[in-house]
Amino acid sequence: MVYTLDLKSSAFKHKRSNRLRRILLYLMDFFTFFNNLIPFDIVISILAMYILLGICFGVLFASSEEFGFPTLLNALNSFSIFVVLLLLLFFGFDYSSTILEQQNNLVVYNKSYQTIFLFFSFFLLLVTRDFISAHRISKFEYDILFSFVMLSSICLCFADDFLLVYLSIELQSLALYVFACFNRNSEFSTESGLKYFVFGSVISCFLLLGFAIIYLSFGCLSFEFLYSLLQNTNDSFLFLGILFVLVAFLFKVGSVPFHLWLSDVYEGSMIIVTFLFSVAPKIIIFSVLFKLFALLFSQFNLLWSPFVLVSGLGSIIFGSLAALYQKRLKRLFAYSTISHTGFLLLAVMCSTIDGIFSLTFYVITYASLTVLLFSFLIFPSLSLKNFPIYIANWTSLGVKNPFYAYGFSLVIFSMAGIPPLAGFFSKFLVLLSVVSEYFLLTAIISVLVSSIACFYYIRLIKTFFFIKESRNSFWVSSVKPQHLEYVIGIFMLFNLGLCIAPEIISNFALLVGLSLF
């Protein structure tokens, strides 16, 4: 049963959300007017042309004294931010009821996640600009590679056949391989990039093999035709192909037991690359994962859902327990990412309207908290030559920089799921959808392990405020206002606002769920 997505429906008829509903209606009608001026194909062509011209400009003038660093890098970076804003304006806000009457429910779902991706990509580029300027990184390839990630993510989100899915994933993976070893002067960065490339190449073979098996079973790769053909089949050979595809996507999100690359890549990469890995690819990959398995392969739910359940629960347990023994900050948050990935997989496993509702809410909350977290991590790097790697380097932070330490602690508490912060609502909704599907034992284990995981978050708070000053501690200083400060302020207000009015996101997540079921 498909519901019509209309902002004037009863889903928004609530006293506390009437004003929000009117504001959203006005904004969406405004953006829809601009959206109708430029079709989707032209927007993709503009992005592709920007990438081509950026490569030509960078290759020709990167070594020029007149057009080189910092002029070249600043021009490319500023224009990249402009391109993201252009995509978000013309392409990310198409939700008016008049337009949706002419579109199917899957287009609405794709546009919703594409809007989320573009929104957080804009702030990611702002944070990156400050770091590149502070460290004088004169490599124009960063923005070009990120444009490749944007192009592949847009194509992947709107892909309607397996061939386009495969090509989009490979284009995104090639850019991420280069990102992983972007710091050519570091042996750790080169090692992490090589390890990610080797593992990714093997998994790419699994993905291609899975798509080939599906093609051999039905002779087509289009989602529309496959959905009708899959309704009356029980081919065990087909399930083997679905299993290979599932393995490939579980590797992409870094869940157990395909997580071996994630901690090393997070540790060896530059801090801004780790930030990129934590936010941008996961939003689109989880949207495609839910679209493929909860919608296209819904008939095989009893076959693939146990694998997702075991992987999700294993990710929560392993990520939470492994983080207890970490002494390096980036590796600690890498295992924390694995734990959050487990909660997202539990939402995918439910494959119901509650599942997509909790998945969308968790994705937005997790992405906003990750932006805040890495903004706080990157901020000392603007004034320091090297990133403070070890947890012991962050001692006495509450004494030297109290407001910075208090804000950082608030983000850590939210990621731990302490009520009434935003992280608590996201985990609560996922567990609620799991209980509604009668996986009571899974919910209990997740709650217990999450309670244990609070220890390594509290250990950071202890390091900030209760450990005596050491020689390795540092001061956080800022000579002039940075974009990073505005990003921290915006997302701090956003996450604190969720404590008072969680319907800011829940209404949007509800609309995404209603558009599919």
Q: What single letter denotes the amino acid at residue 483?
A: H
Please tell me which residue, 476 or 459, carries the higher pLDDT value: 459
Which residues lie closer than 8 Å to 48 by C-beta, 6 or more apart? Answer: 151
* pLDDT 10s digits, 479-489: 555 678 888 88
List, for residues 333-384, the tens digit of each pLDDT value: 999 999 999 999 999 998 888 899 999 999 999 999 999 999 888 888 777 7
Token digits for 94? 């198409």
Which SS3 state, helix, strand or coil, does residue 484 take? helix
Which of helix, strand or coil describes residue 96?
Answer: coil
Q: What's the chain's Rg over C-alpha atoms?
A: 22
**pLDDT tens per residue across span 267-295:** 888 888 899 999 888 899 999 999 999 88
Please give the structure tokens belonging to residue 159: 């892909």
Predicted pLDDT at 87: 67
Separation CA 327–CA 230 (nearest Å): 49
CA distance 43 to 25: 24
Give the pLDDT confidence of 308-337 residue by residue, as tens digits.
999 999 999 999 998 888 888 889 999 999
Give pLDDT tens digits for 17-39.
455 455 545 544 544 444 544 55
Count of residues in the chain:
517
Q: From the DSSP assignment, how many helices (H) and strands (E) are in the chain?
A: 21, 0
Q: How many CB atoms lie within 10 A of CB 36?
A: 12
- Residue spans per domain, the chain: 10-516
What global pTM score does this model have? 0.87
The predicted pLDDT at position 358 comes to 92
Residue 354 and residue 357: Cα distance in Å, rounded? 5
What would the pLDDT profile of 82-126 be if each residue is shown by its tens digit? 666 666 665 555 544 333 333 457 777 888 888 888 888 888 888
pLDDT score of 158 more than 50 = yes
Query: CB-based contacts of 355: which residues, under 8 Å, 6+ apart?
Result: 290, 294, 347, 348, 349, 433
State residue 7's pLDDT score: 38
The model's pLDDT over 386-445, given as tens digits with 9 standing for 90+, comes to 677 788 888 888 878 888 889 899 999 999 888 888 889 899 999 999 999 889 999 999
- Two structure tokens written together for 433: 């959808």
Q: Give the SS3 label for residue 261.
A: helix
The one-character DSSP state at 257 is T
Q: Which tens digits make up the pLDDT trace of 162-189? A: 999 999 999 999 999 999 888 877 788 8
Angle at 47 between CA 45 and CA 53, to 5 degrees: 100
Q: What is the pLDDT of residue 91?
A: 56
Compute the distance between CA of residue 111 and CA of residue 503 in angstroms, rounded to an integer. 20
Structure confidence at residue 88 (pLDDT) = 64
Residue type, 37: L
Percent of the chain past pLDDT 70, that is, above it, reads 79
Q: Residue 246's closest CA among 235, 234, 237, 255?
A: 255
pLDDT, mean of residues 253-266? 89
Asked whether the bond before 70 is cis by omega within 30 degrees of 0, the reply is yes
Whether the predicted pLDDT of 40 surpasses 90: no
Q: pLDDT by residue (tens digit) across 65-81? A: 555 444 455 555 556 66
Alpha helices in 136-231 (DSSP H): 141-157, 162-180, 187-218, 223-229
Residue 239 C-beta-side C-alpha neighbours within 13 Å: 13
- pLDDT level of residue 3 (50, 70, 90 thresholds): very low
CB-CB contact of 266 with 279 (8 Å)? no
Query: What CA–CA distance (Å, rounded) separates 338 from 219?
Result: 36
Is the model's pLDDT at 58 over the cut of 80? Answer: no
**Cα(510)–Cα(354) distance, integer angstroms:** 9
Burial 328-340 (b: 16+ CB within 10 A, else e): ebbbbbbbbbbbb
Asked if the model's pLDDT at residue 53 lies above 80, the reply is no
Q: Evaluate the omega torsion of the peptide bond into residue 257 and state whether it is cis, within 30 degrees of 0.
A: yes
166's tokens: 């495969």
Tokens of 234: 């029980």
Q: CA neighbours within 13 Å on the CB side: how many for 515?
A: 29
- pLDDT tens by residue, 216-238: 888 888 888 888 877 777 777 88
pLDDT at residue number 119: 86
- Supply the DSSP symbol for 380: G
Element (H, E) at 86: helix 71-91
Give the type of residue at 327. Answer: K
Separation between Cα atoms, residue 75 and residue 87, nearest integer Å? 18
